[in-house]
Amino acid sequence: MAHLVHVVVATPAHSTVGGPLSYWSEASLPAGALVRVPLGRREVCGVVWDPPEGEAAQPDPAQLRPVGAVLDGLPPLSATWRQLVTFAAGYYQRSLGEVALAALPPQLRELDAAQLARRLQRTPVAPEVATVAAAPELTDDQSRALAAIAAEPGPFLLFGATGSGKTEVYQRAVQALLERDPQAQALVLVPEINLTPQLQARFEDRFGTSAVVALHSGMTNPQRLKSWIAAHLGRARIVLGTRMAVFASLPRLGLIVVDEEHDPSYKQHEGARYSARDLAVYRARTEGAKVVLGSATPSLESWQACERGRYRCLEMPKRIGAGELPRVRLVNMNNQPRGTVFSAPLLAALSERVARGEQALVFLNRRGYAPVLACNACDWKSECSHCSAYRVFHKVDRTLRCHHCGFTERVPRACPHCGNVDIAPLGRGTERLEEQLGELLAEVRRPDGEPVRIARMDADSTRLKGALEHQLAQVHAGEVDVLVGTQMVTKGHDFRRITLVAAVNPDGALYSSDFRAPERLFGLLMQAAGRGGRDAARAAASEMWVQTFSPEHPLFAALKKHDYAAFAGQQLNERRQAAMPPFAYQALLRADARTQEIAQAFLQAAAEAAPGLDGSGHVVLYAPVPLTVQRVANVERAQLLLESGSRPALQAFLAAWQPVLQGLRVRGLIRWAIDVDPLLI
C-alpha cells in the first residue's frame, strides 16, 4: 500500500517551493522521521512533516516519486522541535526546509541509513549524572534568585553585576532540574565560541565530562554530529553552545539559559536571520521549560519586558566575597596635548599597577596596527579594490588586509600612485597600542626587577588553534602585566589579578547614526569594567579609566555610578519619543546586485508593488539607501527599511509581500533577503 508523506527539504533561497513536498512511501512514516528523497537529479536529506492544513485533493501516488530511504536508526524529531522550526521560518520569512535542514548537522544530511547505523554503534550510553565538584556557599542574592526560579514559571531576567555569581546560579538551576528529573536536559547558550571552552570546563567540573556536550560552528563536522546525536537521544544532559544550538534536538528539555543575553552575537546575519535569544524564550514556552536570561547590562528589549511584567527580574547587585566594582575615572582628552593616545595620568596609573605586581587591561575595539595607510603627498589611502572600505594595516606580517572581503596584499614600498616613500599609518588598532605601550612603559619594572610583560588578545593573535586557551592561561597565571585587546577580552573572563581597566577611545559610538550604538557601548564598557576588581583583596583599589572628548555625556554619568537602570531609563525615553524599537517593530529588505543602481531599482520596484498589501496602513516603507559599507567583494548593497507600531501588522505585510518579491525579475540582481528585527541599520 502506498502512503502519502510530506517532506521538507532544503530548497533554494526565494524559490516558490517553501513548504513540504509530496512523496509516497511503502510504509507509514511518522512526522519528524529523517529520510532520503529524490529532488531533481539528486537525492537529499529531508524531514517528514505534518500534513499542510486544509489540504484539499490528495495527489495520485502514481504521479509522486518514492522516498529513497528512511534513517530509522534515529527517533523522529519531536512535535515541539517542528513547531519551533515552523515558527522561526514564518517569523523570519524563510522557507520551512531551509530552516529545518540548516538546524541539522552537516554530516547528518550526507549520511545514508547504513552509514548512520555505523555511527550510532560508536555512540556510548550516558552514565548517571552526578555532581562532581563541591559547590560554593550561596550568597543571599543567589539564594533568592534560585528560589524564584524554582517557584515561578518565568521567563526570568537574571540582572546581576559582573562578578555577582550568575554562573553559579545557572549551575544550581541545572543541578536542581537534574535532581528532580534524572532524564531532563538543559541548554546553555553563550554568545561566542571563545567563551564556550571556559564555561564548558566549569560545567564539566561540576557535572562530569560525560554529561556535557558542546555545539558550535568551531567544531568539526564529526564532532558536531556526535554532540547532536547525544542530545537527540537524550544521552547528553547539558548542551552548551552558541546561537545555532537553540535548534538542537532535546527531547527532555527542562531549562534554557542564555548567558550575556544582550550580546548582538545571538543575532544571525546570514540565511535565516533569527535571534537565538528570542527563539529561546519562544521554545521554552512551547516546551514547558523555564528560561533564564542573564546579563549585567540587559538588552533594552528585555529590560522593557520586565517593566511590563512579561519577564521576572531577579536582581543580584552585589559581587561575591565583598568585592567592589571598579571606581570609574574619566579623562577629558580636550585638556590633553593634540594627538595624545595615553594621557599622562593613565600612564602613571598603569606604571603604578605594574610596579605593584598587579595586572591591567587596555581595551580598544579595533584590531590591526592602523585602520588606514596613507600617502602624505597625493592623499592615496589603502582602499580595498573590492569594497568601499579601507584595508587595515597589520604590521606583524606587513600586510594590508580588508576585514570585509579578506583581500590581502603586502605593504607597498612606496605610494602606488605617486611613488612617494613617505606612507604612514593613520589611526590606531590593538597592534599599535601594544607597540606604543611597550615604548612608553619600557623603563617600568615589576616587583622582581624584570621589565613589563605586554600581551595582545584579538581575532588576529588568537587565530591559530589553541592560541586563545594559551593566552588566557598566561593571564590567569600572572605571566602578563598589561593585556591589550578588543571586545573579546571584555566578556565572561574571570581575571582575578586585574585591578585597572582602560578604555582608550570609546567616543565613536556616542554620535553614531545607529540608534543602538550607545546601548552597545555602555554594555561593552560595563563588561570591560567588570574584568577589574574581581579579587576581593584587590577590589578596593580597582579602577576603570575612560579617555573621552565628551565627559559630560549622560552615558558616562551612568557609567561612573554603574547605574544601568538610569542609562536604560534615559535610552528608553529617547526611543519612546522617537518611536524606535522596542516601541516599534522593524524589518529590512536588503538587496545585493552588480551595481548600486540595480540594487536600488529592485528595492524601489518592491516598494511600488507594496500599496494594497497593507490595508490598514500600519506599515511605513522608507526610501532605499546604500548600506554604510555599500560595496563588499565587488557586490553593491542597498536596503529598504520597514517600520510599524504593530508586530502582527508587520508580519502580515511581510507574508503578503513575499510572493511579490519572488515575482520581481531585475537583471543583475544577485540576491535579496528580509531581515526581521534587524540589529544593524
**Lowest-confidence region among 166-175, 374-383, 568-577, 628-637:** 374-383
Domain final residue pick, 300, 320, 340:
320
Count: domains in the chain: 4
Q: Could you tell me which of 270, 388, 275, 402 has the C-alpha nearest to residue 671? A: 270
- Do 472 and 328 belong to one domain? yes
Please give the DSSP secondary-structure letter assigned to residue 151. H
**Lowest-confidence region among 23-27, 56-60, 402-406, 412-416:** 56-60
pLDDT the model gives residue 14: 65
Check which CATH number belongs to the domain holding 96 and give it: 3.40.1440.60
Check which CATH number belongs to the domain holding 632 and give it: 3.30.70.100
- Do 459 and 356 belong to one domain? yes
Average of per-residue pLDDT across 237-261: 96
Check which CATH number belongs to the domain holding 223 and give it: 3.40.50.300
Nine cell digits for residue 659: 510572493
pLDDT the model gives residue 550: 93
Domain final residue pick, 258, 292, 320:
320
Radius of gyration (C-alpha) of the chain in whole angstroms: 27
Q: What value does the mean pLDDT of the chain take?
A: 90
Crossing angle (nearest 10°) for helices 196-207 and 467-476:
70
Is 168 within the bounds of a domain?
Answer: yes
Confirm if 264 and 283 have CB atoms less than 8 A apart: no
Higher local confidence (pLDDT), 332 or 11: 332
Separation between Cα atoms, residue 298 and residue 284, nearest integer Å:
19
Known binding-site positions: 375, 378, 384, 387, 402, 405, 415, 418
- Look-up of cell digits 601594544: 434
Nine cell digits for residue 444: 617600568
Q: Could you tell me which of 15, 77, 13, 91 has the C-alpha nearest to residue 49? A: 77
Is 110 within the bounds of a domain?
Answer: yes
Separation between Cα atoms, residue 405 and residue 387, nearest integer Å:
7
pLDDT the model gives residue 478: 87
Is 523 within the bounds of a domain?
Answer: yes
* β-bridge pairing 408-410 and 399-401: antiparallel
- Do 68 and 196 belong to one domain? no
Confirm if 245 and 269 have CB atoms less than 8 A apart: no
Tens of pLDDT, residue by residue over 335-372, are: 999 989 999 999 999 999 999 999 999 998 888 889 99
- Look-up of cell digits 564539566: 204
Tens of pLDDT, residue by residue over 563-617, are: 999 999 999 999 999 999 999 999 999 999 999 999 999 999 999 988 777 655 6
Q: Which DSSP helix (H) or strand (E) runs through 214?
A: strand 212-215
Separation between Cα atoms, residue 67 and residue 69, nearest integer Å:
6
Confirm if 427 and 447 have CB atoms less than 8 A apart: no
Domain residues for 647?
Answer: 585-676
- Do 91 and 199 belong to one domain? no
Which residues 6+ apart lie within 8 Å of 668 measured at CB?
Answer: 593, 594, 595, 598
- Do 363 and 511 belong to one domain? yes
Which residues 6+ apart lie within 8 Å of 330 measured at CB?
Answer: 546, 548, 551, 556, 560
Is 373 within the bounds of a domain?
Answer: no
Tens of pLDDT, residue by residue over 200-231, are: 888 999 998 889 999 998 899 999 999 999 99
Give the model's confidence band at 507: pLDDT under 50 very low, under 70 low, under 90 confident, else very high.
confident
Residue type, 327: R
- Do 257 and 351 belong to one domain? no
- Do 339 and 481 belong to one domain? yes
- Do 163 and 297 belong to one domain? yes
Known binding-site positions for Zn(2+): 375, 378, 384, 387, 402, 405, 415, 418
Separation between Cα atoms, residue 543 and residue 530, nearest integer Å:
10
Is 240 within the bounds of a domain?
Answer: yes
- Do 256 and 332 belong to one domain? no
pLDDT the model gives residue 440: 93
Which residues 6+ apart lie within 8 Å of 332 measured at CB?
Answer: 548, 549, 551
Average of per-residue pLDDT across 172-186: 95
Please give the DSSP secondary-structure letter assigned to residue 381. B
pLDDT the model gives residue 3: 85
Crossing angle (nearest 10°) for helices 647-663 and 596-608:
120
- Do 178 and 295 belong to one domain? yes
Please give the DSSP secondary-structure letter assigned to residue 74. S
Three-class SS of residue 451?
A: strand
Average of per-residue pLDDT across 509-520: 87
pLDDT at 330 over 90: yes
Please give, one letter per residue, the 3-state secondary structure of 630-649: EEECCEEEEEEEEEECCHHH
pLDDT at 536 over 60: no
Nine cell digits for residue 549: 572628548
Average of per-residue pLDDT across 21-28: 90
Is 129 within the bounds of a domain?
Answer: no
Q: Could you tell me which of 364, 332, 326, 365 has the C-alpha nearest to residue 346? A: 332
pLDDT at 538 over 70: no
Instruction: Burial-class residue 179 by CB neighbours within 10 Å (0-12, 13-18, 19+).
Output: exposed
Nine cell digits for residue 280: 529561546
pLDDT at 129 over 70: no
Is 386 within the bounds of a domain?
Answer: no
Which residues 6+ apart lie within 8 Å of 59 measured at CB?
Answer: 4, 22
Which residues 6+ apart lie within 8 Å of 244 measured at CB?
Answer: 103, 215, 216, 217, 276
- Do 164 and 310 belong to one domain? yes
pLDDT at 268 over 90: yes
Residue type, 547: Q
pLDDT at 666 over 90: no
pLDDT the model gives residue 180: 94
Is 421 within the bounds of a domain?
Answer: no
Separation between Cα atoms, residue 532 and residue 212, nearest integer Å:
30
Average of per-residue pLDDT across 538-559: 88
pLDDT the model gives residue 532: 75
- Do 197 and 57 belong to one domain? no
pLDDT the model gives residue 271: 87
Q: Could you tell me which of 215, 164, 229 has the C-alpha nearest to residue 187? A: 215
